[in-house]
């Protein structure tokens, strides 16, 4: 197992899985989400080749209703 930071929360996941697998395990539909690893965007055509590393900080975002609302969340 490796430990990553996922959307601001610590999470243990299997070692040597790709971003595509991670989305699959999280039951997230890949359409219209975006992924940042260590503050760099990983384009969707690289999700099946990008292997998650121990200690990675990963953000998975999507569209929500808006509107000007509270502060940016991914800063936390």
Partner 1 sequence: MSDKLIIGGREFESRLFVGTGKYQTFELMREALAASGADVVTVAVRRVDLSGSAESLLNYIDTDRMMILPNTAGCYTAEDAIRYARLGREAGLSEFVKLEVLGDEKTLFPDNEELLVATRQLVKEGFVVLPYTNDDPIVCRKLEDAGAAAVMPLGAPIGSGLGIQNVNNIRIILENASVPVIVDAGVGTASDAAIAMELGVDGVLMNTGIAGAKDAVAMATAMNYAVKAGRLAFRAGRIPRKLYATASSPLEGALS
Radius of gyration of the chain (CA): 13
Is residue 34 close enough to count as binding partner 1 by CB under 8 A?
A: yes
Query: Both tokens of residue 25?
Result: 């395990």
30 backbone φψ class: left, alpha, beta (φ>0; ψ -120 to 50): alpha
Note whether 66 binds partner 1 by CB under 8 A: yes
Q: Shortest gap between Cβ of 51 and partner 1 (angstroms)?
A: 19
Is residue 57 at the binding interface for partner 1, with CB under 8 A as the rule? Answer: no
> By the 8 A CB rule, do 35 and 47 touch?
yes
Residue 27 backbone phi and psi in degrees, to 5 = 60, 40
- Out of 13, 36, 50, 57, the only residue in the binding site for partner 1 (CB under 8 A) is 36
Using CB under 8 A as the binding criterion, the count of chain residues that bind partner 1 stands at 33
Task: Report the interface residues with partner 1, using CB under 8 A.
Answer: 6-9, 26, 28-29, 32-36, 39, 41, 43-44, 59-75
């Amino acid at each position: 197992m490796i430990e990553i930071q996922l959307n601001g929360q610590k999470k243990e996941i299997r070692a040597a899985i790709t971003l595509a697998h991670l989305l699959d395990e999280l039951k997230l539909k890949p359409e219209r989400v975006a992924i940042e690893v260590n503050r760099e965007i990983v384009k969707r055509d690289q999700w099946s080749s990008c292997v998650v590393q121990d200690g990675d900080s990963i953000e998975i975002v999507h569209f929500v209703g808006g509107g000007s609302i509270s502060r940016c969340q991914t800063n936390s």
